[in-house]
Structure 1
Amino acid sequence: MRVVVVNWRDLGHRQAGGAETYAAGIAHAMAARGHDVTYLTARDAGQRRRDTDGPVTVRRRGGRWTVYPLALLWLLLRRRRVGMVVDCQNGIPFFTPLAVGGARVVQVVHHVHTDQFGVHFPAWLAALGRLLEGPVARRVYRNATTVAVSPSTVDAMRLRLGWRGPVHVVPNGNTTAPPGLPPRDPAPTVVCLGRLVPQKRVDRLVDAVARLLPQLPDLRLHVIGGGPEHAALLARAAPLGAAVVVHGRVSEAEKSALLGRAWLNVTLSDGEGWGLAVLEAAAHGVPTLCRDVPGLRDSVRHGATGWHLPPGAPVADALRRVLADLADPVAAARTAEHCRDWAARFDWAATGARFAEVAERHAREGVRGGWLPGMPEATVAEFTPSDEPALLVEQCAPAELLDELRAAGARHVTVRAASATERLLGRAIPADTHDRPHSRS
């Protein structure tokens, strides 16, 4: 197929983040399977209109807002030559089905932006954003297959956007930590890794550290990442001296060194699709304290690889308690082991392969199945005796799956709802009892 991946930015954009890493990963995965892939995106200052990224052709049109109509025009003029569009939604969709007619469309949703529109825009524009993300998108993408990056993103789509079409989970991948990391600092050391944008609420973390310094004078915070909030955070941190260092963008080697010395990563984001920084920290053995919001409640396993902060809970109090727990070397080592084990379950090769399988199945068959309130998003079938491996199927009613298996000759089979972990990993895990629901026939 000729595949066009449409995303707001590419990895060379100054404001690139996790969504761009994901889009680039799936573009390369589709190209590796023999598809002719074009990456269609906005053009940042200094970027060329045409470029190549290995086997992927890059086309850049427009800026922050004008990329939307210009991308649609580009697709409209080439609609007869496009076999599939991967439409990556970043709050406001591109609405590519309006331009490509009969071409297959796979929509990618990282997280629901309903509340965040009010953070960035005036009331009337926020209301328009919510309208486009919800009712309008439901109508335009009714014949598309949707991919979300986490189970809690799917839940938010169902609850807050009223989404009823099939949604498949394909999580982000992860990279491994380099060898030879420095030892953990003897003093309590916190990092905040990620883009510096308003919805990440890094200012609240700086304030929490300021409140704790009289009790923990050795406490240190390293803010790692770039973004529009960089200057404001520098000014906020200035009165705290060496206790808070706002590094901005750093090299990969420096980032790994800072993570290697850290006790804890903290993210107070309003919401994430997944939280790439969380898994990157976990690969270095660093747990995360985060708000209990969609995305992060999947990427951070509460009590194992980090802690979820309940709504309204004081950040400083939670930070003090967690650092007290991590002061115990045995507890810290156990948590670091859990983090590395969890992070190792995700890699970009597997993510690309899973996404490509969903996209290619959609190209062959179109939209199959649907979703009804109360129906599990994914179902696991387990066989007795267990000579056959358990089977995980997305977007299929349990009764229908049971009927099909029995029609195929299975006689001793039990079906149950898949756990969030199983949906993330894309396979049944009979031994996993961390968040697994009770089995049911």
Structure 2
Amino acid sequence: MNGLRLAIVNWRDPWHPAAGGAERYAWEVARRLALEGAGVRYVTSRARGQQRRDRVDGVDVVRLGGRFTVYPLVLLWTLLRRRSFDAVIDCQNGIPFFTPWVLPRRVPVFCVIHHVHDAQFGLYFPRWMAWVGRLLEGPVSRWAYRRHAFVCVSPSTLNAVRERLGWKGSAYVVPNGATVSKQGPGAVDVPRGDPDLVCVTRLVPHKRLSHLLDLAEHLRGRYPGLRLHVVGDGPEASWLAAQIEGRGLGEVVVAHGFVPEETKAALVARADLHLSTSQGEGWGLSVIEAAALGVATVAYDVDGLRDAVRDGATGWLVGPGEDLAGAVERALEERADPVRRREVAAACREWAGMFGWAGTAGRWARLITAAVATGSAASEDHRAHIVRRYGDDRPRVAEGPDRDLLLADRVGGRPPVLREATPLERLLGRTWAAADPPPEIEAEIEAAAGGAGTGAAGGAGV
């Protein structure tokens, strides 16, 4: 990355009052690529009181416009500097910035998609504006980025991009990392009593906070000492407070609002379960952060969350015909067994340990440098592969221009050996590290290896 000029455009920065996981993702990538020697400009909107120009962790931060005016202003800013960048990461938060319209064709653009917003536009905007949003997210985006590539943060987001947005071009997977404050073993070794539940979330409509309140009403009769901690802030905060009071849940549901990272980690670490009631996510960063503390999550079986939660191993997914209360009661019953409780906590920590921001940035660095070298973010082969070069004992997952460059580099005159990666391997960016992988993962790897052809390199399966 040394010397490469990179622009990362995102709706907000991590210090914006409404920042969430998408901002965390963009900023972690930006600052880590800057540490690798890239010249990075992070271009975003400006909240009241924020400086227009800043420099943080080696990244030049440029703030332009507000919630909607940031889009045309970023396009104008990029147009005036169109020859100043070697590559661009264009983050789509509902709609992207359409930077290919103003950049030279030779500049590779990666459009980052955390999750497909089609169903969510109607929750936030009038019908006509929701229609415009879906038009921009779908047909207009397909045309604008047709010579470039999408980057998704999870396999289910990739599937949604293909199925719901109709994207047929190049699309890769680069997941979130996780950073967690150090805490003790939490509730894992605490004798069982009435449950302590926690939900870390932004207070916005698509997180479906009413489901949490319904759950509290259902469980408080069975568990008189039940506590449900809601951690996070957002436009629904006043609604949540009014609902807690109106439903008489003041002794059960505790709305903490925004809290420092250490306080948040302490609340999660002591909980019996973490909950997510969202109707869909790109990934589920709070799920992985809870898992790192040994705390399993109960969530709906929806995009993103079905990737972040390994059902029955690191949490429980609310299945078809099942309600949230039923899944939570099922999870609490399993946790009543001390052996099962420790087993789930260990699986959670192992799973969370596979995701780190350094790994996320490393995958981005390989994609970007390869795209700059080949002159395009796109690739004719949209699959991910396990690639092992001659003399290399450490095969890895590669896709897009990164894989294309590896296949062209014949060490000792020999082509690399490869097979198509499984969805899990694509998510992790590597093969399963443990000597004895869980049965469902072992079966997935064996199925991929058994069906592997010679691949683009003409070699045998790994």
Query: Which residue of the partner structure matches residue 204 of structure 1?
Result: 211
CA contact (8 A) 1:379 1:392 kept: yes
Query: Which residue of the partner structure matches residue 237 of structure 1?
Result: 244
Say how many residue pairs are matched.
431
Query: Which residue of the partner structure matches residue 392 of structure 1?
Result: 397
Query: Which residue of the partner structure matches residue 232 of structure 2?
Result: 225
Closer/same/farther in 2, CA of residues 130 and 312 from structure 1, 3 Å limit: farther
Query: Within the alignment, does 1:150 sit opposite 2:154 as a pair?
Result: yes
- Tell me the CA shift for residue 420 of structure 1: 2.3
Query: Within the alignment, does 1:111 sit opposite 2:115 as a pair?
Result: yes
Which whole-Å deviations, capped at 9, do the CAs of 1:343-365 have from their partners, x for residues lacking one?
Answer: 11111111111111111211111
Query: Within the alignment, does 1:28 sit opposite 2:31 as a pair?
Result: yes
Q: Distance in 1 between matches of 2:413 and 2:322?
A: 52
- Tell me the CA shift for residue 309 of structure 1: 1.2
CA contact (8 A) 1:145 1:362 kept: no
Which whole-Å deviations, capped at 9, do the CAs of 1:108-146 have from their partners, x for residues lacking one?
Answer: 111111111122222222221111111110110112222
Q: State the AA in 2 paired with 1:24.
A: W
Closer/same/farther in 2, CA of residues 368 and 14 from structure 1, 3 Å limit: closer
> What is the 5 A alignment of 1:255-404?
255-311=264-320, 313-365=322-374, 366-370=376-380, 377-380=383-386, 388-390=393-395, 392-394=397-399
Q: Distance in 2 between matches of 1:7 and 1:370?
A: 27
Tell me the TM-score normalized by structure 2: 0.87
Q: State the AA in 1 paired with 2:48.
A: A
Which whole-Å deviations, capped at 9, do the CAs of 1:5-24 have from their partners, x for residues lacking one?
Answer: 10000011000110001100
Q: Distance in 2 between matches of 1:148 and 1:288?
A: 22
Alignment RMSD: 2.7
Q: State the AA in 1 paired with 2:80.
A: L
Aligned-pair identity (%) = 47
Query: Which residue of the partner structure matches residue 121 of structure 1?
Result: 125
Where 2:83 maps in the other structure, the secondary structure is: helix
Query: Within the alignment, does 1:178 sit opposite 2:164 as a pair?
Result: no
Which whole-Å deviations, capped at 9, do the CAs of 1:183-227 have from their partners, x for residues lacking one?
Answer: 547321110012111111122111111122112222210000111
Q: Distance in 2 between matches of 1:254 and 1:364?
A: 45
Q: State the AA in 2 paired with 1:116.
A: Q
Query: Which residue of the partner structure matches residue 216 of structure 1?
Result: 223
Q: Distance in 1 between matches of 2:52 and 2:387?
A: 49
Where 2:229 maps in the other structure, the secondary structure is: strand
Q: State the AA in 2 paired with 1:300.
A: V
Which whole-Å deviations, capped at 9, do the CAs of 1:304-332 have from their partners, x for residues lacking one?
Answer: 10111124531122222211221222211
Query: Within the alignment, does 1:252 sit opposite 2:256 as a pair?
Result: no
Q: Which of 74, 77, 80 pairs up with 2:80?
A: 77
Q: Distance in 2 between matches of 1:6 and 1:403?
A: 32
Q: Distance in 1 between matches of 2:264 and 2:408?
A: 52
CA contact (8 A) 1:197 1:227 kept: yes
Query: Which residue of the partner structure matches residue 434 of structure 1?
Result: 440
CA contact (8 A) 1:181 1:256 kept: no
> What is the 5 A alignment of 1:35-54?
35-54=38-57
Closer/same/farther in 2, CA of residues 83 and 114 from structure 1, 3 Å limit: same
Q: Distance in 1 between matches of 2:413 and 2:136?
A: 44
- Tell me the CA shift for residue 403 of structure 1: 12
CA contact (8 A) 2:170 2:400 kept: yes
Q: State the AA in 2 paired with 1:250.
A: V
Tell me the TM-score normalized by structure 1: 0.91
> What is the 5 A alignment of 1:51-70?
51-70=54-73
CA contact (8 A) 1:290 1:296 kept: yes
Where 1:79 maps in the other structure, the secondary structure is: coil
Q: Distance in 2 between matches of 1:122 and 1:268?
A: 24
Query: Which residue of the partner structure matches residue 200 of structure 2?
Result: 193
Query: Which residue of the partner structure matches residue 428 of structure 2?
Result: 425
Where 1:162 maps in the other structure, the secondary structure is: coil
Where 1:241 maps in the other structure, the secondary structure is: coil
Which runs of 5 or more residues in structure 1 are unaligned? none
CA contact (8 A) 1:326 1:332 kept: yes
Q: Distance in 1 between matches of 2:97 and 2:337?
A: 50
Q: State the AA in 2 paired with 1:351.
A: T
CA contact (8 A) 1:345 1:425 kept: yes
Where 2:102 maps in the other structure, the secondary structure is: helix
Q: Distance in 2 between matches of 1:271 and 1:222?
A: 21
CA contact (8 A) 1:305 1:336 kept: yes
Which runs of 5 or more residues in structure 2 are unaligned? 453-462
Q: State the AA in 2 paired with 1:106.
A: F
Where 1:392 maps in the other structure, the secondary structure is: strand
